[in-house]
Structure 1
Amino acid sequence: MLMTVEIRRGTARFTERDVGRATRHAFSFGADYDPARISFGPMICHDEHLLGAGRGFDAHRHAGLDIVTWVVSGALTHADSLDGSSGGSHTLVPGEVGHLHAGAGVEHSEIAAAPQTRFVQVWLRSDDDSEPSYDVHAVSPGPLTEALTVGGSTLWVSRLAAGESVTLPEAGPLHVYVASGALLRNSLAEPLAAGDALLVADGTGPLSVTAAIDTELLSWRLSAADQTT
């Protein structure tokens, strides 16, 4: 089966700005509605945030989502309305992935704890209305490290040196995001820069990519239960 591949450039994302904050949205969000950019499988939000010290998002409520956060640089303090070991407060730093299962509903806040913090956040639709929870997972450096599985979707983190190649997980839907660095041209795609994404809608063949410079990739193999929109 042939792969269906699309490149989504970071420069084409809808950018929302406020004092001390810039957010680039990959999918329709708020006042920006694009019927061709509603979701990709269960992924309904893939945002890149840049925050100044003490800036961020005050307490707000979510339900019916799994929210996954990866800090590229700086530090981000998460606080929530949960009690005990399932929640509270934690400052995420590079090398950690935070997972908030919103379940039936939870409040949380996210505030930068460094002079400048850049992080990527993904929202996945969830029908699991169990008790909300928050977990943090440390991710070991490597060319393809499984960081987290949420429902039927799995996140891999790749840290590649210049010239190093990696074969990404097979089958689709597959969402590959260049968090930092750049990828060389390959048989399926033009070169990719930081902020760009490669979306593979279907196909079962392996996809190999090569770093042009030191590069960090966030690759989601998404549940096929939800169709691409």
Structure 2
Amino acid sequence: MKTIIHKASSRGHANHGWLDTHHTFSFANYYNPERIHFGALRVLNDDVVDPGKGFGMHPHDNMEIITIPLEGDLEHKDNMGNQAVIKEGDVQVMSAGTGVFHSEFNPNSDKAVNLLQIWVFPDRKNIEPRYDQISIRDLKTENALFQVLSPDKDDQGVWIYQKAWFSMGHFTTAKSVEYELKNQTDGVYVFVLEGQAFIGESRLEKRDGIAISETDKIKINTEKGTSLLVMEVPMQI
């Protein structure tokens, strides 16, 4: 098993006043030649947006964009006619395809929103753009990993145009769980949202990430109060 640890403090960081953001991979003014992407996983941004602020209308194309609010609300509008508020406990996906414009704002006047925005390279280009959003509250299983994203329209969670699988876990007690890869040639990126976890000899704390490849299963030991995001992606793009 091959592993690369990205400590939370080593991420790229920018504070724009209204936006406080951390980048696991190269993004905007943060460039690290050793952190361009991990297989098909291109962007993992950890954003805090002030009340009433946000990103104005801007374009994307040929990218799968996944947004997961961790705390607070985010209002989305796009040129496909979609307008929605995504909340903690929701997952949103946008397949940019041939091109889409969208905006994202914090609609609240009294509290910030903390969200993850994740970009995944698609397995095909120039598809018709699409939007989807679900609540994962009914999918949530305490003290176990539960799937929130896959490449299958009929599977649990949202789906994207890539052979990728995302799972989350919220642990109210110390627990040992095993993640078995869908494809042995894939890699897995584990991102600790809260608490602590151990993978092999590696100790991971809040907002630490670990890139794992060359294995078919991963054993994760969690502490009480730990939350995780586990992202399996193709290594070849």
Report the CA distance between 1:57 and its aligned residue.
0.9
Distance 2:164 2:200 in 1: 26
Give the counterpart of 2:128 among 131, 138, 143. 131
Counterparts of residues 59-208 of structure 1 (less than 5 Å) = 59-83=57-81, 88-114=82-108, 115-126=111-122, 127-139=124-136, 140-142=139-141, 143-149=144-150, 150=160, 151-170=162-181, 171=184, 172-183=186-197, 185-189=198-202, 191-204=203-216, 206-208=217-219
Q: Contact 2:191 / 2:207 at 8 angstroms: preserved in 1? A: yes
The residue matched to 1:103 in structure 2 has which SS?
A: coil
Give the whole-Å Cα distance in 1 for the aligned partners of 2:195 and 2:76.
Answer: 26
* RCO comparison, higher one (Cα < 8 Å, 6+): 1
CA distance in 1, matches of 2:64, 2:190: 19
In the TM superposition, residue 32 of structure 1 has moved relative to its aligned partner by 2.2
Aligned to 2:29: 31
Distance (Å, rounded) in 2 between the aligned partners of 1:90 and 1:169: 34
Moved over 4 A (4+): none
Instruction: State the 1:213 CA deviation.
Output: 2.7
Distance in 2 (alpha carbons) for counterparts of 1:201 and 1:132: 31
CA root-mean-square deviation:
1.4
Distance 1:92 1:17 in 2: 23
Q: Separation in 2 of the partners of 1:32 and 1:211?
A: 31
Name the TM-score, length of structure 2 as normaliser: 0.87
C-alpha separation in 1, matches of 2:4 and 2:174? 23
Contact 2:200 2:219 (8 Å CA) reproduced: no
Q: Displacement, 1:117?
A: 1.0
Measured after TM superposition, the shift of residue 218 of structure 1 is 0.9
Pair 1:219 & 2:230 matched? yes
The CA distance in 1 between the partners of 2:80 and 2:222, in whole Å, is 40
Q: Once the 2 structures are TM-superposed, how far is the Cα of residue 212 of structure 1 from its aligned partner?
A: 1.7
Identity %: 24
Structure 1 unmatched runs, 5+: none
The secondary structure found in structure 1 opposite 2:9 is helix
CA shift in 2, pair 1:137/1:169, >3 Å: farther
Question: How many angstroms apart in 1 are the aligned matches of 2:200 and 2:207?
Answer: 20
Deviations 1:51-104 (A, max 9, x none): 111122111000010000111111111111103xxxx11111121110000010
- 1:186 Cα shift? 4.3
- Structure 2 stretches lacking a partner, 5+ long: 151-159
Aligned amino acid, residue 203 of structure 1: T
Matches of 1:169 and 1:118, distance apart in 2: 29
Contact 2:60 2:100 in 1 (8 A): yes
Aligned to 2:221: 210
CA shift for structure 1 position 113: 2.9
